[in-house]
């Protein structure tokens, strides 16, 4: 009788577990995502839409993502707080926007004179970057994943040509992140202005220069109509957006849906990189044809030298103030050195060769 009772209890336990697993497999979930961007924002907004579509298809409708753009939640730079508090399950934004809350977050977007997109993705997924990012976000009950890359961003639109370091003194420029701090070190007055106000600010001389993204998104805002000098980039060589996820919301999902999320985020991030390349090529062709006033410029050597020195100084200060920052900076610098040695004999060598023969 005892054996029969034990067997009956075991069978019941197995049946209950199987039943619960099957029920969980059939359960449907909806996650709410707040994005920093406005509705139908090109490229950035395409990325979240593509992500939501992929998740729903791969999960056979068991998981849906509901996207609220900035016009809906009214807090484009409040995504960190809303996801942390559980007001939203997810967010799509850029990690360096949170440097005022958690200074170490800014390292996971892009750093001046840092890695290009392929090198940075390799660092994230194979060089320890993901683990370091999670170490930073863990205390805030969040997960962070790469959320799409713009590639090298342009250095900004200037109404006056920059011929020397002296020309930067007192110049008012919209530029965020660590690059803004670097520019401040060399005499610029950096500021951050909402995207919808950038054209007016530049037109009315509220600012003297503006950095946004690249031709595809810059063309849309019309900077080429009021600024003649378009400078090449140095400050954001691989600008990575992010998917933020509330950890409690994540842990409520079955393991298979978590994996679907991982795959969909990774695929959407890659799609954004290649979409950015295509859209920038198309937009730059339009600018060249329709706006012959636009001149591509590089900053003079004395400006680059000063910015490079300022960047190193600020990195040293950040490392001295925070053990976590020191660990991230060391990891990025060591990985860039290793990866760049190969980039130099592959992509760079190829492009240099083509420049000579074309």
* Binding-site annotation: residue ranges for substrate: 153, 174, 211, 236
Closest residue by Cα to residue 187 from 173, 175, 169, 167:
169
Sheet containing 29-35, strands listed edge to edge, beginning at the edge strand earlier in sequence:
63-68, 29-35, 90-94, 240-246, 142-149
Which residues on adjacent β-strands are paired with residue 295? 229
Bind-site residues for Na(+): 212
205: alpha, beta or left? (left if phi > 0; alpha if psi -120 to 50):
left
Bind-site residues: 153, 174, 211-212, 236
| Full DSSP string of 292-307 | TT-EEE---HHHHHHH
Strands 240-246 and 90-94 turn out to be: antiparallel
Up-side HSE of residue 41: CA atoms within 13 Å toward CB?
A: 23
Pure H helices in the chain: 2-26, 44-58, 70-73, 79-85, 117-126, 129-137, 177-185, 198-203, 215-221, 247-251, 255-290, 301-321, 323-343, 349-357
* Residues in the chain, overall count: 358
Q: Residue with structure tokens 């040509």? A: 161
């Amino acid at each position: 009788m005892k054996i029969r009772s034990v067997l009956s209890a075991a069978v019941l336990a197995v049946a209950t577990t199987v039943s619960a697993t099957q029920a969980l497999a059939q359960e449907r979930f909806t996650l709410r995502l707040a994005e920093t961007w406005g509705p139908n924002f090109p490229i950035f907004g395409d990325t979240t839409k593509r992500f939501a579509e992929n998740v729903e298809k791969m999960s056979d409708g068991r998981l849906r993502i509901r996207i609220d753009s900035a016009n809906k939640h009214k807090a484009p730079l409040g995504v960190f707080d809303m996801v942390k508090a559980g007001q939203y399950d997810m967010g799509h934004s850029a990690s360096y926007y949170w440097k005022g809350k958690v200074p170490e977050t800014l390292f996971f977007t892009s750093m001046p004179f840092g890695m290009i997109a392929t090198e940075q993705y390799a660092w994230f997924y194979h060089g320890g970057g993901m683990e370091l990012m999670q170490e930073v976000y863990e205390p805030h009950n969040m997960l962070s994943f790469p959320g799409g890359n713009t590639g090298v961003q342009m250095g900004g639109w200037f109404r006056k040509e920059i011929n020397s370091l002296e020309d930067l003194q007192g110049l008012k420029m919209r530029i965020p992140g660590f690059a803004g701090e670097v520019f401040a070190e060399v005499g610029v007055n950096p500021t951050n202005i909402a995207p919808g106000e950038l054209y007016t600010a530049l037109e009315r001389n509220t600012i003297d220069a503006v950095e946004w993204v690249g031709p595809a998104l810059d063309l849309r805002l019309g900077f080429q109509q009021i600024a003649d000098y378009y400078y090449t980039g140095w400050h954001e060589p691989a600008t990575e957006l992010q998917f933020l996820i509330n950890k409690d919301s994540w842990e409520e999902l079955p393991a298979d849906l978590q994996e679907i999320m991982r795959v969909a985020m990774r695929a959407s991030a890659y799609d954004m990189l290649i979409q950015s390349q295509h859209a920038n090529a198309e937009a730059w062709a339009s600018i060249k044809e329709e706006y012959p006033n636009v001149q591509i410029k590089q900053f003079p050597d004395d400006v680059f030298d000063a910015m490079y020195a300022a960047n190193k100084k600020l990195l040293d200060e950040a490392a001295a103030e925070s053990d976590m920052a020191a660990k991230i900076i060391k990891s990025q610098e060591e990985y860039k050195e290793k990866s760049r040695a190969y980039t130099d004999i592959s992509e760079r060598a190829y492009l240099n060769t083509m420049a000579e023969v074309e």
